[in-house]
Amino acid sequence: KDYELRQYETAKWVSTVIRGETQKEAMRQGFWKLFHYIQGKNEKEMKIDMTVPVTCLIKPGCADYKVSFFVPFKHQGSPPQPTDSDVFIEERKAAAIYVRSFGGFASPEKYAEEAEALARILRNRGQPFHEDFFYTAGYDSPFKLFNRHNEVWYFK
C-alpha cells in the first residue's frame, strides 16, 4: 500500500515556530522548547507525558518550521499554558489526511522525497489535496535503532 487516508478528530497540540534555520536545526530547537514545556515549563509546573508523533509543518520555499507535540488525551480539555512566549497551544480541526509511512532514520531529504512520492501518487490517482504544505511525523526516540516509523501527511 502506497498510502492511507486517515480521519483525525479535532485535537490540541503544543507548538513552536522556528524561523530562519535549516529544517534539521529547526526540529532540534523546536523539540527542546517543547520538551521543556512537558518537563514543567508551563503555568502549572506540571510534567506531561511525552506523546507521539512529533510533527513538523513544512511549507516548501519557506524557512519557518512549526514543530508540535500532541497533547495527551488526559490534558486535551485544558492543557497547561506554556510560560515560554515562543510556545503555544493550538487546536487543529478534524481533517482527512493522506499518510505515507516509511522506516529508518528520517532526514529532511528523506521526508521531502517521501512527500514528493505521495504527492505524485495522489495526483496520478486524481485525489485532490493541499499541495502547498505537508507535515512530517516522527514516532521514535533518537535512541531507537530498529523498526523505526516515520510519516509524511498531506491534507485532503
Please tell me the predicted confidence (pLDDT) of residue 31: 96
User: How far, in Å, CA of 119 to CA of 139, rounded?
Assistant: 22
Q: How does DSSP assign 110-150, residue by residue?
A: HHHHHHHHHHHHHHHTT----TT-EEEEE-S-TT--SS--E
C-alpha grid cell, residue 73 = 488525551
Which sequence spans correspond to the domains of the chain?
4-155
Residues 6+ apart with CB under 8 A from 132: 59, 60
Beginning with the edge strand found earlier in the chain, give each strand of the sheet holding 87-92 in spatial order: 4-8, 95-102, 150-155, 134-138, 54-58, 64-70, 11-19, 87-92
Residue-wise burial string across 22-37, b where 16 or more C-beta atoms lie within 10 A, e elsewhere = ebeebbebbbebbeeb
Instruction: Give CATH for domain 4-155.
Output: 3.20.80.10
- Nearest to 108, CA basis, from 118, 116, 96, 99: 116
Q: How many CA atoms lie within 13 A of 35 on its CB side?
A: 7
- pLDDT (tens, 9 = 90+) of the chain, 156 residues, equals 899 999 999 999 999 999 989 999 999 999 999 999 999 999 999 999 999 999 999 998 899 999 999 999 999 999 999 999 999 999 999 999 999 999 999 999 999 999 999 999 999 999 999 999 999 999 998 889 999 999 999 999
Cα R_g (the chain), whole angstroms: 16
Please tell me the predicted confidence (pLDDT) of residue 142: 82
pTM here is: 0.95
CB distance 83 to 43 below 8 Å: yes
